[in-house]
Amino acid sequence: MSTDSTPLDPKTAAAGSAVPGAATPTAHTFQVDLRGLVDLLSHHLYSSPRVYLRELLQNAVDAISARRAADPSAPARITVRADGDLTVTDTGIGITEADVHTFLATIGRSSKRTADGGLDNSGLAAARSDFIGQFGIGLLACFVVADEITVVSRSAKSPDAPVVEWRGHSDGRYTITTLPASAKPEPGTTVHLTPRPDATRWTRHDQVVELARHYGSLLRHEVTVTDARGTATRIDAPAPWDVRHGSPLARREALTAYCRDTFDFTPLDTIELDLPLVGLRGAAYVLPDAAPPSRRAGHRVHLKGMLVSDQADDLLPDWAFFVRCVVDADGLRPTASREGLYADETLAAVREACGARIRDWLTGLSASDPALLHRFIGVHHLAVKALARYDDELLRMLLPWLPFETTDGNVTLDEFARAHPVILVARTVEEFRQVAPIAGAAGLGVVNGGYTYDSDLVHRLPEIRPGTSVADLDPGTVTAHLDTVDPSAELAAAAFLATAREVVGRFDCDVALRSFHPASAPALLLDNREARHERTRARLADEADGLWADILGSLRAEVPRAQLVLNHLNPLVRRAATIPGKELAVIAAEALYGQAVLLTRRPLTAGESALLNRSFLGLLDHAMLGRDAADPQKES
């Protein structure tokens, strides 16, 4: 094989030389080290040597398409013979000696497009969209498994042209021989290769059958693989969506069976895809188990029947992670590796149209099959929530079905709104966990907004259900709903409360005494993430100087304080409130604050860790002092 580039014209090059007195440039042509190129393809472009068979099948398909464009009644057969060596024979358009010189002798040149990348209306090419190949490198994939490729071809376009044999070698040498007509009585092409000793597994009969099925099961031509004894195995089978079935149920069952065979799962439901504009047909299978949104379902994409990718992840919008598709399309384009889809406008349009189809299925389900919708939401509510955030109609339609974690348990927002005139939203899971039991006991309705999408969705409720009211949960709201204690109790605890305010004031925290259930909870720390960030920003502004202090200072809002609410119903708090000595009161206040911080399950600051440490050791010391005092032996 040679490379093909236009050598520089010495005259033009000299005229373009800007340096006076410079020597006239000499023109050269790049040489290509074919072994290096094959190495590049095999290790970096193609995922595995097995793609060699895909490239051969694809060339055969393209050749048949080209022949049938002129003669629709031409035979359309691809026969693969795997008997140690491998031959692929097609009844396609074939090539003449001139074609060989033009297309097989130059890497990167393809009969399926013109040299300038456009469409070639002559010869083999009718339009690029008719063919899968276009890059002119596919045949090189054979060098990944063999050192020599032989192509014997007879042209259907020029039946009188002699049969031509091209023998290409992986070091770049090739020969061309013309053969008598008897060497190939019918038009078409046979490609033959003998595997290298380290690649014999790829041309073994069983392996070839498996590969041919993998890539070619949906090909629209007859494809067979024969073994050394001539036994033929049929590879192609009609796509289940193309088969006519006796009833919708039979069709449904056939599509489900195809999913089981192809993906190894039984779908929750099947959504048929049919986009005539891009010649796309197929099925989107709803996964029976929840899939994390981050895990993209690998879709199987066939182009003109040929499998391009079984891991395509850009066929559907991101939110549709609850389905896995198998499609066959005419209008999409493969990348050069043929293992992915070319990201062009057509792909974007396909993505949008498939997304719309899946969304329609979802919205239609509430009317057509509520039980299925229930099961679907049970498994995929995260996906639905992701989708509903940007889709009012869907949100309106599916809101009655979506579960949220609330102080009344797992309920829908509609139910919850009926029971609570104001829905409060806890912004983090920790906040919810900590406040929910207390807020619930005080009759407040709180939704856990800490899960992905939930806070956004709950806040949109008043748009969807006018008359409902939603507010963020803030410490003030909760404290306002906790019972105040009577003034005498407040007075009796005044000294302890003053000490506690001193102790926790360092953490931008106030102290209040209230009565709330459960009585077993001694203290509650009301705080939220934004308030914590605000405090951190304020502290940094104080510590920073110059420009940063100004910037941080200008961002600074009024610093919100956390609130430590002590529970007067709790016996320990009652006893702490009457501690006479200041030293023990400090330790008790530190311990109550430390325990309340731990219950929030948020990370501790360095100051809080030190406080916990101090109070723990202080309590231990105090406990041992008490023991010593009670031990008569120690006294003597």
Ligand X SMILES: Nc1ncnc2c1ncn2[C@@H]1O[C@H](COP(=O)(O)OP(=O)(O)OP(=O)(O)O)[C@@H](O)[C@H]1O
Interacting residue ranges for ligand X, rule: CB under 6 A: 55, 59-60, 63, 90, 92-95, 103-104, 110-112, 124, 133-139, 189
Q: Residue 392: which residues within 8 A CB-CB, separation 6 or more?
A: 463, 464
Q: Taking the CB of residue 74, how many other CB atoms lie within 10 A of it?
A: 17
**The CA-based dihedral angle spanning residues 452, 454, 459, 461, taken in that order and rounded to the nearest 10 degrees:** 140
Peptide bond into 518 cis (omega under 30): yes
* Closer of 123 and 288 to ligand X (Cβ): 123
Backbone angles phi, psi at 591, to 5 degrees: -65, -40
Alpha-carbon radius of gyration of the chain: 38
Distance in angstroms (rounded) separating the CA atoms of residues 179 and 151: 12
- Find the shortest distance in angstroms from Cβ 346 to ligand X: 17
Q: Are 293 and 267 in contact (CB under 8 A)?
A: no
* Residue entry with tokens 């031990």: 631
* Closer of 85 and 456 to ligand X (Cβ): 85
- Find the shortest distance in angstroms from Cβ 236 to ligand X: 17
* Closer of 189 and 309 to ligand X (Cβ): 189
Structure tokens at 424: 């409060």
* Closer of 94 and 195 to ligand X (Cβ): 94
Q: Kindly list the strands in the beta sheet with 280-286, ordered across the sheet, starting from the edge strand earlier in the chain.
A: 270-275, 280-286, 323-329, 299-303, 306-312
Distance in angstroms (rounded) separating the CA atoms of residues 611 and 347: 59
* Closer of 158 and 605 to ligand X (Cβ): 158
Backbone angles phi, psi at 325, to 5 degrees: -110, 155
Dihedral angle sign, alpha carbons of residues 204, 207, 211, 213:
positive
DSSP 342: -
* Closer of 27 and 98 to ligand X (Cβ): 98
Distance in angstroms (rounded) separating the CA atoms of residues 43 and 46: 6
* Closer of 158 and 412 to ligand X (Cβ): 158
- Find the shortest distance in angstroms from Cβ 188 to ligand X: 8
Backbone angles phi, psi at 627, to 5 degrees: -70, -45
**The CA-based dihedral angle spanning residues 519, 522, 526, 529, taken in that order and rounded to the nearest 10 degrees:** -120
- Find the shortest distance in angstroms from Cβ 228 to ligand X: 23
* Closer of 185 and 546 to ligand X (Cβ): 185
Distance in angstroms (rounded) separating the CA atoms of residues 235 and 217: 6
- Find the shortest distance in angstroms from Cβ 554 to ligand X: 58
- Find the shortest distance in angstroms from Cβ 458 to ligand X: 52
- Find the shortest distance in angstroms from Cβ 323 to ligand X: 30
- Find the shortest distance in angstroms from Cβ 290 to ligand X: 39
- Find the shortest distance in angstroms from Cβ 80 to ligand X: 12
* Closer of 94 and 450 to ligand X (Cβ): 94
* Closer of 337 and 484 to ligand X (Cβ): 337
- Find the shortest distance in angstroms from Cβ 199 to ligand X: 19
Angle at 64 between CA 61 and CA 66, to 5 degrees: 110
